[in-house]
Amino acid sequence: MSVPIAFGGALLLALLLLGINIYIGGTASGQRLQIQLEGSCVAEALPIIQARATTIGLGDPVFQEDGMSLTVEATMPGLEDDAVAMPRILSRSATLEILGGDAVLATHADLETSELDLDENGMAYSGLTFTEDTTAKLRAYIQDQPQDYLVVMLDGDVVARRPNTIALEEEFRVLMEAALPAERMRNAADITILLTHGQIPCEMSVRGVSAVSEAG
Q: What does the pLDDT look like over 182-196, one tens digit per residue?
A: 788 888 888 999 999
One-character DSSP codes across 91-139: H----EEEEETTEEEEEGGGEEEEEEEE-TTS-EEEEEEE-HHHHHHHH
Neighbours of 170 (CB within 10 A): 9
pLDDT for residue 132: 96
Amino acid at residue number 26: G
pLDDT for residue 120: 84
Which residues make Cβ contacts (< 8 Å) with residue 17, sequence separation at least 6? none
Go through the domains of the chain in sequence order and give each one's CATH number. 25-93+200-211 (3.30.70.3400), 96-196 (3.30.1360.200)
Give the CA distances from residue 187 to residues 106, 116, 131, 208, in Å, rounded to whole numbers and listed in that order.
21, 10, 24, 24
Choose among 132, 35, 138, 16: nearest CA to 82: 35
Q: Left (φ > 0), alpha (ψ -120 to 50) or beta: where does 134 sit?
A: alpha
Helix (H) or strand (E) run with residue 189 in it: helix 181-196
Beta strands 124-130; 59-66: pairing state: unpaired
Which residues make Cβ contacts (< 8 Å) with residue 24, sequence separation at least 6? 5, 7, 15, 55, 56, 57, 116, 189, 193
The b/e string for 55-90 (b: 16+ C-beta within 10 A; e otherwise) is bbbbbebebeeeeeebbbbbbbbbbeebbebbbebb
Dihedral of CA atoms 36, 40, 44, 48 in degrees, nearest 10, equals -40
pLDDT for residue 175: 87
- If the chain, 216 residues long, is cut into consecutive pieces of 10 residues, what is the mean pLDDT of each piece? 43 46 61 97 97 90 97 91 94 97 96 88 89 97 96 95 94 82 83 92 97 74
- pTM of this structure: 0.85
pLDDT for residue 178: 65
